[in-house]
Amino acid sequence: MPCKTIRVLHLHDKTSIHGGAEVYISQLQELLPLHGCETFWIGITELRGCYVITEFGRGVIKEAKNAGDLFHFLTLYCEKEDIHLINIHNIFNPAIVRFCFQLRPVVKHVHSPVMVCPGKDKFWRYSEKPCNISYGLHCFWHIYSQGCANRHPKRVWNAWNYVKFEINDAANRYKKIIVMSDFIKQGMMECGVREEQMICNPYFTNKIDFVSDNSDQPIKKILFVGRLISSKGPHIMLGALTKLLSERNDIQLEIIGDGIMRASLAQVITDKELNKKVFFRGWLKKEEIDKAIGESYMIIFPSIYPEAFGIVGIEAMMQGKPVVGFNVGGVSTWLKNEITGFLTKPGDTEMLREKAELLLNDAEIYNRMSRNARSEALKKFVPAVHIGKLIEIYRGSIEK
C-alpha cells in the first residue's frame, strides 16, 4: 500500500530506558518523524497472567486482564492511530506475535541473539566462554551446567518454546528481520532462517562536529564504558593493563559504569597500589560520556561474551578514538583490525596489552587509526544512513 507518510507502531516489552534497545527505540521516536514516518511505541509487560501496557512518554495507559483484552486494545489502537506497520522488538510471547501478524504487516528488530538462543546471549557464564553451538536440545543441558539462562523450569520451557516458535514459524512470516551485525545474521542462518529474510542495518551514533586531539597530552586517558559484570570483561582488562599502569606515569584508566564486580575490582586496584592511576566514575549521563570519550586517548572494549554490536565503539570512532577490543560477536562490524584499532584474540590479556601499548608509543599508527575511525563513523554510522535504510525497509514491507 503506497503511502506518503508511514505510521509505525513499535512493540517492546517496556518503554522505560533500561539498555541499548530502549535507547535505540527512543532515538527512533525523535528521528523517524523528520523523515516522513510517524512513530508510536507501546510496551507490553506480562505480570501474573495480566498485561501492563505502557506508552512512551505517558507511562501506564491500560492493564489488560487477559490476552483477549490485550488483543482488543491493540486492534483499537491500530485503528485509532491508522497504523500501517508493526515493528516488533523484544516481545517474547508467541501468542502476541501471532496476533500481530493478523493485524498489520510486521517487521522484526533483533537486538541480540535472542531469536536463536534461549539464554539470549550465546554465552556460558560459568566457564566465561561464548556458546558456538546452534540452538538445539543441548540448550537444556547447558542452561543448568553453564548457567546461560534463568534455571527456573517454567522459564526454561518458555524460553525454549519462544526460540522454537521464532525459528519454525515467525521467521518466515516477518516482512523483514533487521539485524545489527553480521554475527547475528550468521547465527540465525545457522538455525535455518533464510538469508533473504534478513537485512543488516548497523546501529548509529549522533554526529559530532568538533573532535579534540589529545595525542600530545602529558596524561593519556584510557577509557572503559560498560556494566561491571564478568561478561563485559573489566577484570580481564584490569589484568591486561596492570603492568602498563604500574610502570608508566603518563597514563590513567577511567572506568565509566557500575555493577556487581565493582568491589572486587576496587580491591585488586588497592592490592596493586593503583589507586592513583585507576578511577571509577560510575554511571554518567550521555553528554558526560561523550565528554569523557572526547578527553580520552583510546577506548578498551574487553567484552568476552559475543556482543551483538557494541555501540560505545562507534561513539568512540565518531570522536576519532581508536579502540582495542576482543574479536567477539558483532564487534568486527565496526572495529576493523589495524584500520580503526585492534581486534585481539578473545581473552588474550598479553595481546590486549601489547596493542594498547603500541598505540601509546607509536604516534604515526595512532594518528592514522584516529583518522580512519572518524572517517568510518561519518561514512557508515551516522543517523541519516541508518534511518534512510530503515525507511526503505518499512516502505518495502508495506507495499508488498
**Amino acid in the structure at residue 276:** K
What lies within 8 Å, CB to CB, of 85 at 6+ separation is: 6, 7, 8, 9, 104, 105, 106, 107, 175, 394, 397, 398
* Angular region, 39: left φ>0, alpha ψ -120 to 50, beta rest: beta
Report yes or no: 262 and 228 within 8 Å, Cβ to Cβ: yes
pLDDT given at position 16: 86
**Amino acid in the structure at residue 151:** R
pLDDT given at position 93: 94
Q: Are residues 233 and 160 in the same domain?
A: no
Residue 388, helix vs strand vs coil = helix
Residue 336 forms part of a structural domain: yes
Residue 128 forms part of a structural domain: no
pLDDT given at position 400: 60
| Helix 311-318 / helix 286-295 crossing angle, nearest 10 deg | 60
- End-to-end C-alpha distance for the chain, whole angstroms: 7
In angstroms, the CA 176 to CA 109 distance is: 9
- Comparing C-alpha atoms, which of 202, 113, 119, 109 is closest to residue 156? 119
Q: What is the percent of the chain with per-residue pLDDT over 70, rounded to a whole number?
A: 99
Within the chain, residue ranges assigned H as helices are 20-31, 67-80, 94-103, 138-145, 153-168, 182-190, 234-247, 262-271, 286-295, 311-318, 349-361, 363-380, 383-399
Distance, C-alpha 215 to centroid of its chain: 29
Distance, C-alpha 278 to centroid of its chain: 26
Q: Are residues 189 and 329 in the same domain?
A: no
Report yes or no: 350 and 394 within 8 Å, Cβ to Cβ: no
Q: Are residues 224 and 195 in the same domain?
A: no
Per the listing, cell 566465561 goes with: 128
Q: Are residues 157 and 280 in the same domain?
A: no
Q: Can you read off the three cell numbers belonging to residue 149?
A: 539462562
Residue 139 forms part of a structural domain: no
- Which value, to the nearest 10 degrees, does the dihedral of the CA atoms of residues 8, 81, 73, 93 take? 0
Residue 190 sits in a domain whose CATH number is 3.40.50.2000
Residue 195, helix vs strand vs coil = helix
Kind plus residue range of the DSSP H or E element containing 66: none
Report yes or no: 380 and 202 within 8 Å, Cβ to Cβ: yes
Phi first, then psi, for residue 339 (nearest 5°) are: -115, -55
| Helix 234-247 / helix 349-361 crossing angle, nearest 10 deg | 50
Q: Can you read off the three cell numbers belonging to residue 110?
A: 533483533
Residue 194, helix vs strand vs coil = coil
Q: Are residues 266 and 172 in the same domain?
A: no
In angstroms, the CA 85 to CA 1 distance is: 11
Q: Are residues 376 and 393 in the same domain?
A: no
Q: Are residues 239 and 388 in the same domain?
A: no
| β-strands 251-256, 278-282 pairing | parallel
Q: Are residues 312 and 390 in the same domain?
A: no
Q: Are residues 251 and 366 in the same domain?
A: yes
Q: Establish how many alpha carbons lie within 13 A of residue 250's alpha carbon, considering only the half-sphere containing its beta carbon.
A: 9
Q: Is the torsion defined by CA of 277, 280, 281, 286 positive or negative?
A: positive
Q: Are residues 73 and 175 in the same domain?
A: yes
pLDDT given at position 2: 44
Q: Can you read off the three cell numbers belonging to residue 324?
A: 582495542
Quote the domain boundaries for residue 43: 6-121+151-204+383-399
Residue 369 forms part of a structural domain: yes
Q: Which residue stretches of the chain have pLDDT < 50?
A: 1-3
- Comparing C-alpha atoms, which of 266, 242, 254 is closest to residue 353? 242
In angstroms, the CA 229 to CA 353 distance is: 20
Domain count, the chain: 2
- Comparing C-alpha atoms, which of 101, 56, 43 is closest to residue 397? 101
**Amino acid in the structure at residue 300:** I
Q: Are residues 230 and 360 in the same domain?
A: yes
Tell me the β-bridge partners of 38. Answer: 7
Residue 32 forms part of a structural domain: yes
Phi first, then psi, for residue 90 (nearest 5°) are: -100, 90
Q: Are residues 47 and 193 in the same domain?
A: yes
Residue 56 forms part of a structural domain: yes
